[in-house]
């Protein structure tokens, strides 16, 4: 949600792991309430659980579901993890909206001119620093040369990796994944150099300011304490 993605824009996660980001996006697009496909919830065992009220709320929420034309692409390198993503996409009931593929992100092809790339690359627990930096550098190269015209958001807990991407983010947010301090980095991808963009008269500064105000307002609304962690 922080990325500002909207369902009319194709979404790509070419390091999707078990599929959290694509599944969440599909649920948002079709207005499917989280947990819809769960058979039961722990709170149903509470002494004061009101079954009638729960049924009513559930029915009202299900009435809001829409058929979505959203295009979501999810790719994963590890075959075992990829099978888990298929299973998760199917059990969330969003298989019509999520196109899954298995392979290296460098080989991932798409036909979208304007897309949102939202990825959560490995942080490095299982990788040597050198390999991690190479992976992030390849990621930066790929974004620069194959995704011009798109927006990318990278969520990472690796400062070395973030540096190795080699692109300057126009938005940065400090977030926590459990106790681990992470960064959500936003990039407007374009061909050539930034200075050439100014020459083409594209008012990026104004749009960046608006984007920061939008995100700040959203965070303040959600959680005042959380917004203290933002820096732009
Ligand atoms: C931090 S995990 C992503 C977690 C994911 N958001 C989820 O919901 O499970 C990073 C993923 O990137 C995958 N990956 C690593 N190198 C890759 C590559 N070269 N191409 C595609 N995926 C890769 C890993 O297998 C791993 O599943």
Q: 96 is written with which tokens?
A: 């019509």
Other Cβ atoms closer than 10 A to 175? 15
Q: Which residue has the higher pLDDT, 31 or 201?
A: 31
Instruction: Tell me whether residue 15 is in a domain.
Output: yes
Task: Please give the number of the atom of ligand 1 that sits closest to the Cα of 81.
Answer: 27
Q: Which residue has the higher pLDDT, 209 or 178?
A: 178
Range in 44-53, 99-108, 115-124, 125-134 with the lowest mean pLDDT: 125-134
Out of 121, 126, 164, give the residue to mutate to test ligand 1, the one with the largest number of ligand atoms within 8 Å of its CB.
Answer: 121
Instruction: Tell me whether residue 100 is in a domain.
Output: yes
Q: What is the pLDDT of residue 123?
A: 84
Instruction: Tell me whether residue 3 is in a domain.
Output: no
Helix orientation angle between 20-29 and 79-91, rounded to the nearest 10 degrees: 20
Q: What is the pLDDT of residue 12?
A: 97
Task: Please give the number of the atom of ligand 1 that sits closest to the Cα of 104.
Answer: 20
What's the DSSP call for residue 172?
E
Q: What's the chain's Rg over C-alpha atoms?
A: 19
Distance in angstroms (rounded) separating the CA atoms of residues 9 and 82: 24
Instruction: Tell me whether residue 1 is in a domain.
Output: no
For 4-32, the pLDDT digits (tens) are 899 999 999 999 999 999 999 999 999 99
Residue matched to tokens 């949102």:
116
Residue matched to tokens 């299973």:
87
Whole-prediction pTM: 0.80
Q: Terminal CA-to-CA distance of the chain, rounded, Å?
A: 17
Distance in angstroms (rounded) separating the CA atoms of residues 61 and 168: 41
Out of 19, 20, 76, 175, give the residue to mutate to test ligand 1, the one with the largest number of ligand atoms within 8 Å of its CB.
Answer: 76
What is the separation of C-alpha 161 from the centre of its chain, rounded to a whole number of angstroms? 18
Q: What is the CATH number of the domain that holds 148?
A: 3.40.50.150
**Per-residue pLDDT averaged across 53-58, rounded?**
92
Cα of 77 from ligand 1 centre, angstroms = 7
User: What range does the domain containing 68 cover?
Assistant: 11-187
pLDDT band at 218 (very low <50, low <70, confident <90, very high): confident
Distance in angstroms (rounded) separating the CA atoms of residues 138 and 9: 25
Task: Please give the number of the atom of ligand 1 that sits closest to the Cα of 138.
Answer: 19
Burial of 137 (0-12, 13-18, 19+ CB in 10 A): middle
For 85-94, the pLDDT digits (tens) are 999 999 888 9
Give residue ranges with CB within 6 A of ligand 1: 14-21, 76-78, 81, 104-105, 120-122
Please tell me the total count of domains within the chain.
Answer: 1
Cα of 152 from ligand 1 centre, angstroms = 16
Instruction: Tell me whether residue 210 is in a domain.
Output: no
Instruction: Tell me whether residue 213 is in a domain.
Output: no
Instruction: Tell me whether residue 194 is in a domain.
Output: no
Instruction: Tell me whether residue 47 is in a domain.
Output: yes
Q: What is the pLDDT of residue 230?
A: 43
Among the listed residues 51, 28, 109, 113, the one whose alpha carbon sits nearest the alpha carbon of residue 75: 109
Out of 72, 101, 122, 123, give the residue to mutate to test ligand 1, the one with the largest number of ligand atoms within 8 Å of its CB.
Answer: 122
Q: Is the pLDDT of residue 201 over 70?
A: no
Distance in angstroms (rounded) separating the CA atoms of residues 171 and 164: 17
Cα of 13 from ligand 1 centre, angstroms = 9
């Amino acid at each position: 949600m922080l990325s500002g993605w909207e369902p009319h824009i194709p979404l790509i996660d070419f390091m999707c792991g078990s599929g959290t980001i694509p599944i969440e996006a599909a649920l948002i697009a079709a207005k499917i309430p989280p947990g819809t496909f769960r058979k039961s919830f722990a709170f149903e065992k509470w002494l004061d659980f009101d079954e009638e009220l729960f049924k009513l709320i559930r029915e009202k929420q299900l009435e809001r579901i829409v058929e979505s034309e959203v295009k979501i692409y999810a790719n994963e390198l590890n075959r075992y993890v990829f099978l888990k993503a298929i299973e998760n996409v199917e059990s969330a009931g969003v298989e019509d909206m999520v196109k899954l593929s298995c392979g290296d992100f460098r080989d991932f092809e798409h036909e979208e001119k304007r897309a949102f790339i939202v990825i959560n690359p490995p942080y490095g627990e299982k990788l040597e620093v050198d390999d991690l930096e190479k992976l992030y550098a390849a990621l930066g190269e790929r974004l620069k040369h194959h995704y011009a015209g798109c927006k990318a958001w990278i969520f990472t807990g690796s400062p070395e990796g973030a540096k190795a991407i080699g692109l300057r983010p126009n938005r940065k947010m400090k977030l926590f994944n459990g106790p681990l301090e992470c960064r959500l980095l936003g990039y407007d991808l374009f061909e050539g150099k930034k200075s050439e963009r100014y020459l083409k008269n594209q008012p990026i500064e104004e749009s960046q300011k608006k984007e920061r105000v939008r995100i700040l307002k959203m965070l303040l609304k959600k959680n005042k304490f959380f917004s203290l962690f933002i820096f732009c």
